[in-house]
Amino acid sequence: MMYHIKHQMIVASIIILNINADYWYPAGDTQERKLSQMQNYGLSIFSGLEHQDGRTLNRSKKKEQQNVTMLKNNNIKPDNPHTLNIARDEKKAVNNSNLKKTPQVLSYDNTVNIINVIKRKRPKKKIITRCREPVSRNTGSINFKHTSKPRFLEVFQVVEFDHVTCVSSSGLEGTCLHEYDCEVSGGSTMGTCADGYGTCCVTLFSCDGQSSEPVGWFTNPGFPSASSERLSCMFTLDKASTDVKQIRFDFVTFELLGPTSGTCQEDQFIISGQNKNSIVPILCGINSGQHVYIEVGDTDGPIVFSIQTISTDSRLFSIKVSQLTGSDELAAPTGCLQYHTNLEGHLESFNFKDTSEIGIARFPSYLNNLNYAMCIHRAEDACSITYVNDDYMQIVNYDLDGLPVIPKGQAGVEIFNCPSDWLLISATRLCGDRLNDGSVIQDFSLDAPVIDTNAGPLVVWFRSDEGYVGRGFKILYKQNICNNPASK
């Protein structure tokens, strides 16, 4: 009797499990009720019987066979199209009367007490995710391994180069940068550098602009071409930092209309905003190649500089503006309007040149009311310096009657010959049409070297009044190397 019940339960449980696992559904109401009854009791009994017999039914391997059996006997439709196709041909051979028969499931007594039936729950599967090993990246070097097929990234090449000084297509000095870096810094790209991999980046200080860049160029509109319109070109410069002590203006190109009797009346270059005791003259005329310093350590700024003109004559100017701290190589001693750092060079008065690139009207002469110092950096192995007249010289002085103090073509020395306009070299006033202090040659109609052997700073002063003016001066200086090492 017990065996009979066990056999019945196996059949029922097999059918119920297939129905429950693969979402089968019956063809009629009568089958639906029977299947529901079997589902209520068969699962728990079947679990116990599995445990008692020590056997495990492999539903996955028998799935297709069971589904086909159910289709033959029970007219139950599967959701799995593959199973339906397998049984389709077999169903054609089955009699219609057999398709309507109910499954042959033996009846059993619900009241039978079945012992040792254990309901088991299948343990949940633990999902283990395995990650790919990270790919090591060596950012410190570039792998140039070549393959048979070209790679996309190999098309790109990063070229690094030094950000050195370059000369732009317009003749202005700039810095060699990548084009993107130049645009980010606010500069203008003017020509190429670094064999075409970089661009010469120039910072322009245009009219009516404002900037705090440490280096820039103040140019006329349309540079490098001359400007023929009336100008009121002003620029405002903020200090790049509180450490800025000086600003240097290099007149690479400076061609304005010249002065009238030593006074700039038509064209003017004006600087304002510097320290109160840093006096800069109003400049005009031709001053290409010259430079000036202003002191700004005691002011917060801004510094304003401008070019003012009143006529439509041609003008051309390109002025390099550099902000300097006390530790910069170009920083000058305090109080120097000009500062020269070479072993030899020229000291030249403003508006001395008599040549023009644009054919502007020229009136070469120095300016009225000047009083400034030209300083020279003393070389470590230099013990003296020699000054020689290198061009036409004319520093004039007149008495109260309007007559020249010294004859034309003569050199003037000290206060009686040079009362108002003079150069001061080695504590000696010099003026006239020749450079000669009388220490080497006593003939004052000739130029003669002037040697300064004094210790201390190397400084040449120039002063003029508001009366008469002459052509000016251009003096060559040369530092002399010490012959005796003990004299250094």
Mean residue pLDDT of the chain comes to 78
Residue 95 and residue 17 share a domain: yes
Instruction: Decide if pLDDT at 262 tops 70.
Output: yes
- pTM above the 0.75 mark? no
* Token output for 49: 């019987």
Instruction: Decide if pLDDT at 446 tops 50.
Output: yes
* Distance in angstroms (rounded) separating the CA atoms of residues 488 and 468: 43
Provide the 10 A C-beta neighbour count for residue 73.
16
> What's residue 169's pLDDT?
85
> What's residue 38's pLDDT?
52
* Residue at a domain's end among 99, 116, 144: 99
* Distance in angstroms (rounded) separating the CA atoms of residues 188 and 219: 13
Does residue 178 fall inside a structural domain? yes
SS3 at position 297: coil
Dihedral sign (CA 458, 335, 462, 281): positive
Does residue 169 fall inside a structural domain? yes
Dihedral sign (CA 436, 442, 444, 446): negative
How many domains are contained in the chain?
2
- Say if CB 413 and CB 390 are below 8 A apart: no
- Start-end of H helices in 103-173: none
Highest mean pLDDT among 1-15, 27-41, 167-181: 167-181
* Distance in angstroms (rounded) separating the CA atoms of residues 453 and 16: 123
Closest CA to 460 of 428, 423, 488: 423
* Distance in angstroms (rounded) separating the CA atoms of residues 488 and 481: 9
3-state SS string over 284-303?
A: CCECCCEEEEEECCCCCCCE
- Say if CB 217 and CB 320 are below 8 A apart: yes
Cis peptide before 150 (omega within 30 of 0): no
Confidence of residue 363 (pLDDT cuts 50, 70, 90): confident
> What's residue 39's pLDDT?
55
Q: Among 114-123, 243-252, 302-311, 320-329, which is the least confidently predicted range?
A: 114-123
Tens-place pLDDT, residues 124-153: 444 444 444 444 444 333 344 444 555 544
SS3 at position 101: coil
* Distance in angstroms (rounded) separating the CA atoms of residues 302 and 205: 14
Q: Find the mean pLDDT for residues 23-38.
A: 49
Dihedral sign (CA 249, 255, 259, 264): negative
* Residue at a domain's end among 151, 176, 200: 200
> What's residue 146's pLDDT?
46
* Distance in angstroms (rounded) separating the CA atoms of residues 319 and 316: 10
For the chain, counts of helices (H) and of strands (E): 7, 23
Beta strands in 361-410 (DSSP E): 371-376, 382-389
* Distance in angstroms (rounded) separating the CA atoms of residues 457 and 414: 21
Tens-place pLDDT, residues 366-406: 999 999 999 999 999 999 999 999 999 999 999 999 999 99
Dihedral sign (CA 175, 181, 187, 188): positive
* Distance in angstroms (rounded) separating the CA atoms of residues 463 and 456: 21
* Residue at a domain's end among 99, 116, 151: 99
Closest CA to 46 of 60, 57, 34, 61: 57
Its domain, for residue 85, covers: 2-99
What DSSP string runs through 177-216?
Answer: E-HHHHHHTT-EEEEEEGGGTEEEEE-EE-TTEEE--SEE
What DSSP string runs through 413-434?
Answer: EHHHH-SSSEEEETTEEEEESS
Provide the 10 A C-beta neighbour count for residue 181.
14
Provide the 10 A C-beta neighbour count for residue 385.
23
Angstrom distances, CA of residue 68 to CA of 6, 19, 88, 171, 381: 24, 12, 9, 94, 112
- Start-end of H helices in 127-267: 179-184
Does residue 32 fall inside a structural domain? yes
Closest CA to 259 of 404, 468, 434: 468
* Distance in angstroms (rounded) separating the CA atoms of residues 426 and 206: 42
- Say if CB 121 and CB 44 are below 8 A apart: no
Does residue 89 fall inside a structural domain? yes
Does residue 18 fall inside a structural domain? yes
* Distance in angstroms (rounded) separating the CA atoms of residues 186 and 204: 9
Does residue 303 fall inside a structural domain? no
Does residue 72 fall inside a structural domain? yes
> What's residue 142's pLDDT?
38
Beta-strand pair 204-205/215-219: parallel
* Distance in angstroms (rounded) separating the CA atoms of residues 364 and 469: 10
> What's residue 158's pLDDT?
63
Does residue 11 fall inside a structural domain? yes
